[in-house]
Structure 1
Amino acid sequence: MDILNNREEPALSSPSSLTVVVAVDKSKNSLRAIKWTLEKFLLGERTRFKLLHVCAQITTIPTPMGNYPISQVRDDVAAAYKKEVEWKTNKMLLPYKQMFTAKKVEVEVLVIEADDVAEAIARQVSKLKSTKLVIGASSRRRFQWAMKSKDLSSKISECAPKFCTVYAIRKGKLSSVRPSHFETVGSVKSDSNDADTSTTNSSSNNFSSQIDDTDQGSTASYSQLHLRSLGIQHLHAPPTRNQGHHKSRSVLTNIGHSNLDSSYSNMSDGDGLSTGVRISSFRSLQADLLTQDFDQASTSDAPTNSSSEIKVDLDFELEKLKIEIRHARGMYAVAQTEKINAARQLNNLSKQRTEEALKFQEISLREEQARELAKQEMEKHEAAKREAEFLRECTEKEASDRKEVEYRAARDANEKQKLQKMLESPNEPYKKFTWEEIVSATSSFSDDLRIGMGAYGTVYKCTLNHVTAAVKVLHSKEGQGTKEFQQELDILSKIRHPHLLLLLGACPDHSCLVYEFMENGSLEERLLQKNDASPIPWFVRYRIAWEIASALVFLHNSKPMPIVHRDLKPANILLDQNLVSKIGDVGVSTLLPSIDCSQSLFYQESSLVGTLCYIDPEYQRSGLVSPKSDVYAFGIVVLQLLTAKPALALAHIVETALENGHFMEILDSRAGSWPIKETNELASLALRCAEMKLRDRPDLSAEVFPVLERLKGIADKASAASVHPSPPNDFICPLLKDLMEDPCVAGDGYTYDRKAIEVWLKENDKSPLTGLPLPSKSLIPNYSLFSAIMEWRSKRQ
C-alpha cells in the first residue's frame, strides 16, 4: 500500500509550532483519542496534526481455496486486491479526518505498511520529529492486562523516542502518560481533575497510569504487581508463630497453584516466554515472603522447630510445583508438536488441493479448446460445402447463360442472313409478296397477331420466308391511304439508315408493307408502362435521343430532296430486342423541293398532317413545313424521355420546374440516378427545340446533334459500368489494390489476399494497415467473403 504522505519533516518543532501525531486503528478508542487531542492541543499554539495508521503488509491474497502468496498470483489480481485494501483503509480513516475538518483544522493522513506496529509508529514519530504522540489504549481490565504480555500501547510507549511524550487514552480520558526526557509525568494533567497528584504518590486505583513508565520497572515491583493480580496483599501486622506458619503456607500454596494455572494457561496459548517470566517472579516472591516470615518469627521468639516445619512444608510445596510445571511443559511440547504436524498436513493438503484445482482448470481449458476447435472445423466444413454448392450453381448458370447467348447470337446471325437474302432483289427495289402469302402469314389477319393500329392501317406480326416480320395493312386502297402507301414505299425502298425502320417488302396490290419486327414495341409503350415492361435506364434514354436525332439529320440532309417526317412521336419510334430505336411510319413525310436544307425553305401544305401536341405551332398557323417542324416534335419527345409524362403542356411544366429548382422531382425516377448537370443541359436543349417560334429553335445538325453526341459518350460509359461494375471496397485487397482471389483474415483482424499477405509476413511482423505488432502470423480463410466475391463475378459475367 502506498504511503499517502511520508515526506521528511524539519527538526524538532519550534516553540511557535507543535506537531501532534495521533496513532489510530479501527477501534472506538481512536475516535476518543482524536476527540481528546483536539480538546487538548487545539487551543493556544499553532499545531500541526498527523493521523498515523499502520496496516499489515500484504503477503497473501484470500481465495475460496485458501490464502495464496501474493507472488504466486497474477499481477492484475494482486493489484486489484491492493486497491480493495486501500479503499477499505481510506473508508475507515474518513470519519477520523472529518472530525478535524469539522473543527476547521488541517490534518495529514499517513498510512504505512509494517508487521511490527509499535516499531513502525516509533520510526515514523522519529522521522517526523514529533514531540507529542497520542494513542488509544486497550479497554481491557487492568488485572487481565497485568497477567498477560504488555498491550500495544505499552509497546508503543517503550519504542517511542525519548524526546516524545506518549499519551494513552482509554474511554476518552487520559489513562497513562510516558513523559519525554525533558519533562516529568507530574506535569501532565489528567482528565480526572487530579492536577496536583504526582505519579510517585498514586494509590492502587491509579496504578494503571504507571504501567507504561519503562524507567520505573524492577523485579520487586513486578512481583508486587503479580501479587496484586492474584489478589494477595502484604501482611502489615506481625502474626503469631502459629498464625505465621499457617498463613505463610497458605499463601505459598495459593501462589503456587495460581502461578501454575497461569503458566499452563499461557502455555496453551503458545506463550512460553510468559511462563518463564512468571516462574521467575514467583520464585522472587517466594523468597521475599520467606524472608519476611522468618523475620517475623524471630521477632516474636518463635521456637526453632516451627521454622523447620515451615521450611519442610515450603520445600515440599516447591517440589510439588516443580513436578507440575515439568508435566505442564511436557504437555505443552506435545501440543506444539501436534500443532506443527497438523499445520504441515494442512499446508500439504492445501497445496495438493491447489494443484488439483489447477489441473482441473487446465483439463477444462483443454476441453473447451478442443470443443472450440471442433466447432471451427465444423464451420469450415459447412462453409466449404456451401462454397462447393455455390460454385456448382454458378457453373451451371454460367453454362446456361452461355448457351442462351450462343443461341441468341446464332438466331440473330440467321435472321440477318435471311433479311439480307430477302432484300437482295436483282430487278426490284423491294421484295414483292403475294396476297396469299400475307394472309397465310397473318392467319387471315388474326386478332391474336395484331400488334398495333393506327389512323391509316393495322399492324400484324407474321413469319415470311422463315423471318419474323411486321405487316401493315392500309385501311383503303384509294385516296389518302394509297398516297401514303406509295410515298412510304418509295422512301423506304430507296434509303437505308440504322435508325430508320427497315422495309422488307410489300404487296402493292393490297397496299401491304412488310417491315422488320421490333421485339420491344414502341417507345410510348415503354415510357408509359402500358405492357408492364421494365423501365428504360437513363443512359439508354440519352442514347435513344441521339439515335432519333441522327435519323432526322439523315432525313433532312437526304438528296436530291430533303425529307421532313411531320409525325415524329413516341408511338412511331420502335425498339428492338437491344432497345435500339428506329423511326417508322414515314408515309406522311414531305419531300421538300429544295436540296439545301440550310436555306430553311418552306413548303406550303394544303392540309395539316400529324398528331396534336407534336405538331409545329407555326405549321398549324401558316401551313408551312420545314425541317424545324421535326425539331419541335423532337424537343417534345426528349422531354418525355426525361419525365415519362404525357406531351400535353409538358414544355411549360418542365420550364417551370427548372425555374423553381424542382426539376429533379419531375424526372422519371424509374430510370435510375440521373446525372444532374447533364440532365439539366439536355432539358434546356429540349425546351429550346420546343420553342413556339420557328426562328428561336436551334439547328438540329449544327447545334443539337453535337451536344447529343457528347451526352451519348457519357451514357456509353455509364452503360459499360452497369454491365461491368467495379467491385465493392470489401472485395479489394489492401496490399494489391485489386480483387482478392483467396481472401483470408490475418492476426490484425483485416482481410487480405493470401498470396499478398504471405509475401508481407515473410519480411514483416507488423500489420500493414495499423503498424502494430501482429499477435500471430496464422491466416484464417474468409469463406463468406469468398462466396460473395464469387457471386459478384457470376453476376458480372
Structure 2
Amino acid sequence: MATATAGSSSPHTGDSPEPSFSGEKVYVAVGAQSRATLLWALHKFPQGTAFVLLHVYSPPKFLHILGAKIPAGQLREQELIAHKKMDLQRISDNLDQYQLICAQQKVQTEKLVVESDDVAQGLVDLISEHNVSMLVMGAADDKHCAKKMKVLKSKKARVVEQHADPFCKIWFICKGTLVYCRKAAPVSHDMIRDCRQSGTSAQSSVERSSSLSEIWCASNTWMHKLILEPHIETTSSYRYSDKVKEDTKERDKSDNELQHILMELERVRQEAYEEKCRREKAEQELFEALQKAQASENLYFGELKQRNEIEVKLATTIEEVERLARTADELAAKLQKEYEKILVLEKRSAHSDRIIKDLMLQRDKAVREAEAVCVKNGESTAIADRTMHITELSISEIKEATCNFDHSLKVGESVYGSVYKGFLRHTNVAVKKLNPESTQSLSQFNQEVEILSRVRHPNLVTLIGACKDARALVYEYMPNGSLDDRLACKDNSKPLSWQLRTRIASNICSALIFLHSNKPHSIVHSDLKASNILLDGNNVAKLSGFGVCRMLTDEFKATTTLYRHTHPKGSFVYIDPEYAISGDLTPLSDVYSFGIILLRLLTGRSGFGLLKDVQRAVEKGCLQAILDSSAGDWPLMHAEQLARVGLRCCEIRRKNRPDLQTEVWTVLEPMLRSASSMLCSLSFKSVSEDFGNVPSYFICPIQQDVMRDPLIAADGFTYEAEAIIEWFDIGHYTSLMTYLDLPHRDLLPNHALRSAIQEWLQTNAD
C-alpha cells in the first residue's frame, strides 16, 4: 500500500502554473459544490490543457420519500431505476454547468461519470483503469474545510492518497486553496528493465492473441506490477547503478524497445476503450429505441381503447338525443295546443272584462244620476229604498272562489271575521267572511255594502260584490297587503321608501277629505288604523274596514257633536281621546287617527308611546334620531313638517286639530309633487324591467301599467280610460303630468297607440 512518503511532498502554496505534457489530460473530481476546485485547476494549468470532469456516483442506501428515510432494499426495481435516473440527470446538469465555466475560459473538457458503491474506491479503480497521471480533487467535506488546513480530513481523500496508483500526481484542494500535493513516484532502471521484460511478454501475448481483452490483460500485468512492487524501484536503483553506467548503450536500446511496446499497448488499449464506448452507446440507443417502441405501443392500445369507449358513448348519446328530440316534438305539439286554448280563453276573458267594466261604468253613472235626482228631491237613495247597488253573488260562487274557504288561502283575520284570497270570474279578489256568531256581523255587512256601493274614490277599496247568505264581501285584491304589515316588513318584504310613505299619507288624506265632504251625508270612518289601509300592486293606498263607519246628517253640521255613540269602537292607539271619553264622533276623530298614522310613517314604530317620543324629539331638535332609516334619507325639512302636522292632528282637544282640506293638504300637496317626480322615474324603470324593456309611452302615468284602452286628454298625454275617467269623476280638473288646469275634460281614443300596444303584447307573448 502506498503511503504519503512514497511520493510525498510538502504542501504546495505557490501560484505558478503547473507544467503540462503533450497529450496528457488533467482529471478533476467534482461534486455538487466543486466550483472552487475547478477554478483552481483552470488557474493552475496552462492554457490548452485538456480537462476531464470526473464524478463517481454512489447509489444511496436510503431514499427520502414523503419526509421519511426508506432503505433502498425495500423499494421495487422500477422505483430504484427511476430514482437513479433522476440522480444521474442532476449530476449531468451539474457537469454541464462546470463545462460552461470551462467553455468561458476556452478550455476543452470532457465528462466522465462512473458508478461505484464506494466513492474513494471508485476513484482508485478509475485512476488504475484510465492510467490517470494528474488528478485534482477536494481535500475535505465542506463542513470540515478551513483555509489553514494542512492535513487531509476527508476519509475519501486519505483513501485515494494511500491507495491510488503511485504514478498519479494528485492535488488536494479546499475552498480554492491547495492543501496537499502528492507527487508521482520516480521510475528506476530496474523497474524499466522489469517493465521491458513484462512488455516483451505482453507483446508476445499480443502476437499470440487477436482478442482485445487479452491485450488489455497484458498491459495491466505490467501496470499492476509497478503498483504492487514500488519498493523494488529504490532498491534496484542503488544495487545496479554501476552496471547501468557500463551498459549505457544496451540500456538505451532496451528503453527504445520498451517505449515502442508501451506505445503499441496504449494504442491497443485506446482502441479497446473506444470499441467499448461504441458498444455501450449502441446498447443505450437500442434500449431507448425499445422503450420508445413500447411506449408507442402502449399509447396506441390506450388510444384504441379510448376510441372504442368514445364510440360507445357517442352511440348512446345519439340515441338519447334522438329520444329527447322526439319527446321535445311531442311536448311542443301539446304546448301549441294549450297555447291556442289559452289564447281563446284570454280573448273571452278580455271580452268579459270589457263588458263588466262597461256595465260598472253604466251602473255608476245610473247611481250618480239617481243620487242627483234624490238630492234634488231632498231624499237619500239609501233611506228611500235601501237597494243594494252591487253585484249579488251566490254562496256557491263564493265557496268555489275560495276553495270552500281553504285555510291555506287565508290572508288576514280579525275579531270581525277572516279574509281569503280568491279567484272569481277570471279575477283575483279578496273575500271577507264576517263571523256569523257575532251579533253585529249583519249590521257591519249592511253598513259596508251601504257605504261602498255609493262612494267611489281611487283611494277607497272597491267593493265588487256581496253574498248576504254567507255574509261575505268581495273586494278587489290588494297584493301588497296592509300598511301595518309593510311597516313591519312582514315576509321579508322590501321597506317602503320615504317617497312612497309621502304618497301614502297624501292618499289617506285625500280619501278622508272625500269621505268628510260627501253629499248629502258626511262619512266618518271611525276605525282608521294601519291595518285598514291596503296597498295595491303599485303601493297606492286605499282605505278599507267600513264596518263601523258612520254617516252624519246635515242638521248636525253646525254642532260640536255630530254623532253620539255610547260604546266607541276602534283600536286603542288610534282612537280619539274625546271620543273615547264622551262617545261623541266627529270627522276630527279621524284626524286624530290620521295623525298617529303620519307619525308611524315617519318612525316605522308602533303607536304605543309614539306621541310622547316624537314630541320630545321635536322639542329637543333631534327628530332625525327617531326617523325610520330603512325609508332612506328623509329630507329633514319634509320630515319636520310631517312631524309637526302629525302632532297637531293628535292634539287632545278637537278644536286645536287642523282642518284636513285647508291646512293639512296644503302641506302634503307640495311634498306629493316632489315625491311623485322621483317615483315617476323609479316606477317607469321598474315597469320597464318587469315587462322586458317595454316602451315608456305604453305605460299609464296613473296606474303605472301597460295601457289596454288608451285615451288622449286635453293636456296632450295619454292615459288608461278607466284611470282618467275616475280622476275626473272625483272632481279633479288638473293635469296629472303638468299640474295645470285642463281647458276641458274631453277624451279621444288613441287608436294608433292601442294597435302598437296590442302588437307588442302579441310579440312578447309568442
What TM-score do the two structures reach when normalised by structure 2? Answer: 0.44
What TM-score do the two structures reach when normalised by structure 1? Answer: 0.42
Structure number, greater radius of gyration:
1
